[in-house]
Structure 1
């Protein structure tokens, strides 16, 4: 184990739907907590005027996908988690760009709910593109093969 890095075990029982729902809930709850005041000012918020606040909030969200230092048995998952983390980051960056663009086009994001829906659309676009890439399919295949190998070893005991 590397000094200063925490080694954790990958949860082989991860329910991907539950993971997505948790991320979705965390997004909405944290946006409501951290950005609600921007939308309560009575006028449409210009995201460019609040970039420091937005970036701090997004960094906290992006940290959810930071992968831990994995042990040797879990290395097959590392590339997959890196790709998922990058897609999350790309979707968040796209959301901010589209938020700014919408404001300039007089189609503002007027509420936390609007922001959440914009984020969902960006996630859909980024994830759809990413999941169809050869690199993602290879990483996903490696992860699934490792998972099957794990379960075979557990069931044979």
Structure 2
């Protein structure tokens, strides 16, 4: 006859105040987690946008430096135009069309004129000035310069 009045149930017991605090903490952590994710996504997008221009700018500067080194190599070793790299053709056309070629030519002429103005010939009449002009004209007389024809 005598049965006990206790029943064992699995789980744990929370008061309503403890349950509200626990749920509020979970919601707060979730909101903070989403806020951090959004902030990181915005920062990553900002970095990608900012670095895209820098990478492109660096590539342009590398091409420009390569073309300048190639131009020096052309002058020193007298290369023909068919050996001209395609990435430098745009720069070469700009060099002629925008007047940089004429500015460089005028500067070279001013330096030469200044040098010759300061020379004092001796009275013996044996002074000679030799100017090498073989690089001014192409070795092939039928050769046309395609960059000047554009």
Shorter-chain TM-score: which interval?
Answer: under 0.3
Q: TM-score, normalised by structure 2?
A: 0.25
Which of 1 and 2 has higher RCO (CA within 8 Å, sep 6+)? 1
Give the structure with higher Rg (CA). 2
Where is the helix percentage greater, Structure 1 or Structure 2?
1
Q: TM-score, normalised by structure 1?
A: 0.24
